[in-house]
């Protein structure tokens, strides 16, 4: 399916995209609407296959980056919130959101998605979060003391989920009255990072962005020091995500 079989995995696993297209039966040049495209990481696999995509991104800097990253494809990036955007007669075969749906006002998101879709069109949402595998890297337990030290530890009742144990929004989607859920599937995958790439990753997380400079300095310094003591200087981070596919009712 993918243009270059030597490509590395995208932000989300290829298997997720394969399953999404298998269930929906969508093929290029179907029209897709992405909610919260950010820099276009989740957009690119669809764009490379030849889908026509409209991406909505409220952040000016992120929208600019997305336009640059997707300039060679049939993608239009619009700087707008989904809540404020109007399709102006455009009709889409699928609305999708990758780690962005929870930012959209829950009182309007399903109505807005339904209004943008053709009859029996699809809504697909998924995300990515940290999960702890039984055979996962012990680094994250070891570094937890530093988070506690700088006052950024999790609540006492917090339990990091295991792969395959993530909650999903299927009941909320069904309760909206606009959609019927036709697929719920969990995925887990692993990424490998050196100190530089891992700190770069952390700098995309809202919790780390909002830290005080001294907190980041202490945390990132300790991450670099501990990884430097490893023979390969790397860590393995395990991810989990839930793919939800729903079809417009009626």
Q: Domain locations in the chain? A: 14-128+164-188+241-248, 139-158+193-235
Tell me the pLDDT band of 157, cut-offs 50, 70 and 90.
Answer: confident
pTM above 0.75, yes or no: yes
Beta strand 117-126 with 92-98 is parallel
Encode pLDDT of 36-95 as tens digits.
999 999 999 999 999 999 999 999 999 999 999 999 999 999 999 999 999 988 999 999
Helix-then-strand count for the chain, H and E: 9, 8
Contact 195, 224 (CB under 8 A): yes
Q: Please identify, in words, the CATH class of the domain defined by 14-128+164-188+241-248.
A: alpha beta
């Amino acid at each position: 399916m993918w243009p270059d079989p030597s490509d590395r995995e995208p932000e989300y696993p290829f298997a997720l995209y394969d399953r999404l297209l298998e269930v929906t039966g969508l093929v290029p040049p179907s029209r897709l609407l992405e909610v919260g495209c950010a820099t276009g990481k989740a957009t690119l696999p669809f764009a490379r296959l030849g889908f026509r995509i409209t991406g909505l991104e409220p952040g000016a800097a992120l929208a600019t980056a997305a336009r640059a990253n997707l300039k060679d494809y049939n993608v239009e990036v619009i700087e707008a919130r989904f809540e404020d955007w109007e399709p102006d007669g455009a009709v889409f075969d699928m609305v999708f959101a990758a780690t962005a749906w929870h930012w959209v006002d829950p009182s309007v998101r399903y109505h807005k998605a339904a209004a943008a879709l053709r009859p029996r069109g699809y809504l697909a949402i998924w995300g990515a979060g940290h999960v702890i595998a039984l055979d996962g890297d012990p680094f994250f337990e070891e570094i937890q003391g530093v988070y506690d030290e700088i006052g950024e530890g999790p609540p006492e009742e917090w339990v990091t989920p295991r792969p395959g144990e993530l909650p999903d929004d299927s009941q909320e989607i069904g309760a909206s009255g606009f959609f019927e859920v036709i697929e719920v599937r969990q995925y887990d995958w692993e990424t490998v990072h050196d100190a530089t790439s891992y700190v770069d990753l952390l700098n995309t997380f809202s919790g780390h962005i909002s830290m005080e400079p001294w907190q980041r300095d202490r945390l990132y310094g300790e991450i670099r020091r501990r990884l430097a003591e490893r023979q390969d200087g790397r860590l393995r981070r395990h991810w989990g995500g839930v793919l939800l596919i729903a079809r417009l009712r009626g």
